Amino acid sequence: MDQIKFLAGRANWIRGSALAEVMKKAAELRAQGRHLISLSAGDPDPNLIPREALGELAGEILQEIPQSVMYTPANGIPELREELSSFLKKYEGYTTDPSEIIITVGGTGAIDLLGRVLLDPGDVVITENPSYINSLLAFEQLGAKVVGIPVDGEGMKVEMLEEKLRELENRGEKVKFIYTIPTGQNPLGITMSLERRKALLDVAKEHDLLIVEDSAYNFMRYEGEARPLKALDDEGRVIVVGTFSKIMGTGFRVGWLIAGNVIGKKVLMEKSPIDFCAPTISQYIALEYLRRGYFEEYHLKRALPGYRKKRDAMLNALKDNLPDAEFTRPIAGMFIMLFLPEGADGMAFATELMQETGVVVVPGKPFYTDGSGENALRLNFSRPEEEEILEGIERLAAFYRRKF
Ligand SMILES: *Cc1c(COP(=O)(O)O)cnc(C)c1O
């Protein structure tokens, strides 16, 4: 039967991730019994997450709160919105009324909903180049055009943003918002400087654009300062996307969106027929996680030093084994971007590396908005064990030196 004729026109914009091939290959090798060292994850470390404490919470909640297995309000359970409002005030430095917070199915749910409410086909979204592949796909699947702005060690190059905005405006393009991951950027691992943050807000004001601040890694910062854009915003121009994924685990599927009244109302109406509510049991677990001080006790005191140690292990291994190579030095997040020599094919490198050495890395190219980034590789240091990091980088470096 020919199914194609049943597809919506919109389905033409659904193209899937270019990373699927590499991940499929890894799954095949694993199925053949091959032991792989994965530096390709997008997850935190399950051993740095207090699984036992969370298990106890889950047991208690399931037994004592009948509502925990039921539908709850589309914008989230009120207790969690209240607790989160205090949490954001304490750790992010801005005030948000609990009524402004919408609890979503992860940060992913928040980004998708925003796109649905804000974007018409043909609208332009500005991002960093490169940016988080899932967000790029979400915007493109709605028919939006993504325009990436180059990044240096201080984050998005705001001067180039201004130039690009003028060019787009002269062409009559409709730019809706600037999507940025200012802290611990995925995939680069770069954190935007305070000066750049202020400059970005100024440009958004001058061109009357919204900023969507993806704060996925704001709570995975190992050193330095990183004031949220939202805390610098005095006119309600910044929309916040947040998540418990990198703190509590990516499987809980609890995130949040702070979008302001008009947009928030539309988001909420759009949300109900899509997911009814974010997983209720996960919302109660997140609530108790905050209420009982687990964020301080487990995340700040134990998990963060563990991630910092793994980051240092990977940075040192890269420095020792590939002293001439170029790579980013993150102060936050879960990733380091490694650049192969100019002109190298990162896709081919990643595939051969996996086959020959059993080390899995993610090619950077699919994260770039303009087809560049051929020589980039994204390395994850949060998920693998320290020994795997050392062994993985050694094998990668040996392979690299054979190639170049
Ligand atoms: C992990 C991540 C998210 C959120 O993922 P969820 O699991 O859906 O909360 C959002 N943005 C970036 C850049 C991420 O890396």
Whether residue 221 sits in one domain with residue 160: yes
CA pair distance 265, 383, nearest whole angstrom: 37
Considering the domain boundaries, does residue 54 fall inside one?
no
Helix (H, G, I), strand (E, B) or coil at 213: strand
Residue 398's CATH number: 3.90.1150.10
In terms of Cβ atoms closer than 10 Å to its own Cβ (0-12, 13-18, 19+), residue 291 is: middle
Q: Of the residues 40, 113, 134, which should be mutated to test ligand 1's pocket, given the most ligand atoms within 8 Å of the CB?
A: 134
User: Residue 85 half-sphere exposure, CB side, CA atoms within 13 Å?
Assistant: 15
pTM, full prediction: 0.97
Q: Of the residues 139, 246, 252, 275, which should be mutated to test ligand 1's pocket, given the most ligand atoms within 8 Å of the CB?
A: 246
CA pair distance 9, 320, nearest whole angstrom: 52
Please say whether the dihedral angle defined by the alpha carbons of residues 69, 70, 73 and 79, taken in this order, is positive or negative. Answer: negative
**Closest ligand 1 atom to 108 CA:** 8
Instruction: Say how many residues make up the chain.
Output: 404
Whether residue 245 sits in one domain with residue 318: no
Give the range of the structural domain holding residue 318, as residue numbers without chain letter. Answer: 4-49+296-403
Pocket of ligand 1 (CB under 6 A): 106-108, 132, 181, 186, 214, 216, 243, 245, 250, 255
Q: Check residue 211 and give its pLDDT.
A: 98
Whether residue 310 sits in one domain with residue 233: no
- How far apart are the two ends of the chain, measured CA to CA in Å? 50
Give 244 Cα–ligand 1 centroid separation in angstroms.
Answer: 9
Residue in 167, 145, 165 with CA at minimum distance from that of residue 157: 165
Whether residue 242 sits in one domain with residue 95: yes
Domain termination site, one of 292, 324, 355: 292
Whether residue 114 sits in one domain with residue 239: yes
- Count of domains for the chain: 2
Q: What pLDDT, in 10s, does the model give residues 131-181?
A: 999 999 999 999 999 999 999 999 999 999 999 999 999 999 999 999 999
Please say whether the dihedral angle defined by the alpha carbons of residues 296, 297, 300 and 303, taken in this order, is positive or negative. Answer: negative
Domain termination site, one of 292, 310, 333: 292
Domain termination site, one of 269, 292, 315: 292
Q: What pLDDT, in 10s, does the model give residues 61-76?
A: 999 999 999 999 999 9
Nearest-Å Rg of the Cα atoms of the chain is 21
Q: Is 126 left (phi over 0), alpha (psi -120 to 50) or beta?
A: beta
Considering the domain boundaries, does residue 56 fall inside one?
no
